[in-house]
Amino acid sequence: MFSAARSLTSFACRTGINHARVAPSVRSLAAFQTADKHTLVLVRHGESTWNLENKFTGWVDVPLSPKGHEEVVEAGKLIKEAGIVPDCAFTSLQQRAIRTLWHILEQTGLMWIPETKAWQLNERHYGALQGLDKQQTVDKHGKDQVLVWRRSYDIPPPTVDPSSEHHPSNDPRYADQEFPTDWTESLKTTLERVTPYFETNIAPQLKDGKTVIIAAHGNSLRALVKHLDNIGEDVIAELNIPTGTPLVYELDDDMKPIPQEGSFAPLNGRYLGDQDAIRARIEGVKNQTK
């Protein structure tokens, strides 16, 4: 029974044992009627304690702030109300995303679905800037330089010191991975590790008819939507994905997004929630370093 069951579950969603899949009667009728429509829900983690402190976070494992917890409980409710029922979940190795996912699973009554955690879905690593205050960094290096590090597509911040706590080789959760001594990331290099992971591990689940939810980070989700919606490098660097706001994609069999009414260009995904408030928030993130 085990080997047969294993062969049913593809690699990415494999927990080895849990084969839970939602019965057709529970899916939203629209989603089930169109056999070639695949639902992908993206959620950027809620506000973290360091968002509040205005620090470069990257791979630092900060928790959600109280507001962040509330945001993502709300996200779970919105997903439930929309009748979306994920079959499996993906997230990063960082607690602010994992906790976001857990809140959503609790709200939707789906705590039992298989969840896969992958470093490839982590936030962009901020190199030597990790842990530093954003405004102080501007005061030190100048607004323009910092803007380049933050919003350039392919210019990474300086590399992190290999002996630093911020180098992944010093964190047990990355013990199975080899990271180069000179480690830092740009949005470009982030995309280079997000996209293959999506293609190899997540796309097969979607093609298999599963509804997938990904709880991740600003830059890993930027990388993903750039890939899905074929967004240009200049545009993606400026694109803000609001925290704790479910972003729903309907993909065809080739994983191309199906345009939806109510989406905000350049995305083909549709946000759930108060559309005016969301639009305002999309403008908001730009103001963190002036």
Residue 37 sits in the site that holds another protein (CB under 8 A) = no
131 labelled binding-site residue: no
- Nearest C-alpha neighbor of 257 from the set 208, 210, 215, 206: 206
- Closest CB to another protein among residues 111, 155: 111
Q: For another protein, which is the closer residue by CB, 115 or 229?
A: 115
Catalytic residue among 71, 74, 123, 250: 123
Q: Does 172 bind another protein (CB under 8 A)?
A: yes
By the rule CB under 8 A, 155 interacts with another protein: no
- Alpha-carbon separation of residue 217 from 33, 44, 48, 188 (angstroms): 32, 5, 11, 15
Q: Which amino acid is at 111?
A: M
Q: How far apart (Å, rounded) are the C-alpha atoms in residues 22 and 66?
A: 32
Packing angle of the helix pair 218-229, 187-197 (nearest 10 deg): 70
For the chain, the distance separating the N- and C-terminal CA atoms, rounded to the nearest angstrom, is 60
CB burial of residue 263 (10 Å; 0-12, 13-18, 19+): middle
145 touches another protein (CB under 8 A): no
Distance in Å, CB of 219 to another protein, minimum: 18
Near another protein by CB under 8 A: residue from 10, 22, 80, 227: 22
96 is in an annotated binding site: yes
Contact with another protein (CB under 8 A) among 140, 143, 173, 279: 173
Number of helical (H) and strand (E) elements in the chain, helices listed first: 12, 6
Distance between CA atoms of residues 208 and 253, nearest Å: 10
29 near another protein, judged by CB under 8 A? no
- d(Cα 77, Cα 107) in Å, to the nearest integer? 6
* 45 counts as catalytic: yes
Supply 269's token pair.
Answer: 């995904």
Query: Is there a binding annotation on residue 58?
Result: yes
Task: Say whether 262 counts as a known binding-site residue.
Answer: no
- 21 or 37: whose CB is closer to another protein? 21
Strands 212-216 and 38-44: parallel
Number of residues that bind another protein (CB under 8 A): 31
The reply, when asked if residue 119 is annotated as ligand binding, is: no
Q: Is 83 in the site for another protein (CB under 8 A)?
A: no
Question: How many whole angstroms separate alpha carbon 114 and alpha carbon 240?
Answer: 29
Q: Is 192 annotated as a binding residue?
A: no
Tokens matching residue 82: 């929309």
Which of 99, 210, 222, 270: binder of another protein (CB under 8 A)? 99
111 binds another protein (CB under 8 A): yes
Residue 114 interacts with another protein (CB under 8 A)? yes
Comparison of 122 and 190: residue with beta carbon closer to another protein? 122
The interface region with another protein, picked from 13-21, 45-53, 72-80, 237-245 by CB under 8 A, is 13-21
Residues lying near another protein in the complex (CB under 8 A) are found at 1-2, 5, 8, 15-23, 26, 61, 93-95, 98-99, 102, 106, 111-117, 172-173
In the annotated binding site, the residues are: 44-51, 57-58, 96, 123-126, 134, 150-151, 218-219
Residues known to be catalytic: 45, 123
